[in-house]
Structure 1
Amino acid sequence: MTTTLEQIARDALRLTPAQRAELADFLVESLESTPPDEIQRLWIDEANRRLEQVRSGSVKTIPGEDVLAEARRLAKR
């Protein structure tokens, strides 16, 4: 790590946890190549696609209670 980067890291560690989280979000977003509104549109498209699958009967839904029971069973392993 370069001296400048080390100093930035030391300074960042002096921030509050909330400030570090905000900085981390900012840095991660700077790595994203897809703009946030495009990501939002893609998620909406995916949600609509899944909704259509449920409505058409092409996928089988699983009751929430069953999912939670299975998750609890697996967590006890």
Structure 2
Amino acid sequence: MDVTATLQEITSLPIEERIHIVQAIWDSIAAEQTYPDLTDAQKQELDRRIDDTEANPDNVMTWDEVKASIKGQQ
């Protein structure tokens, strides 16, 4: 498969069709239930975040608070 040619063809489609293609690709990936292996650094970072959350359960923000914080920075 020539990925460059395929991408050129896809980018010539209307946005709605491109979105449909992206959704179909995403659904096919999700259906396989396979995920790339995490690196050691990623595993360590996840462990660090879990440990921090468990040690500081009140130090969290709701999704609404996060969005408000981001909007306040603009």
TM-score per shorter chain, which class? Answer: 0.3 to 0.5
Q: Compare CA radii of gyration and give the structure with the larger one.
A: 1
TM-score, structure 2 as length reference:
0.42
TM-score, structure 1 as length reference:
0.41
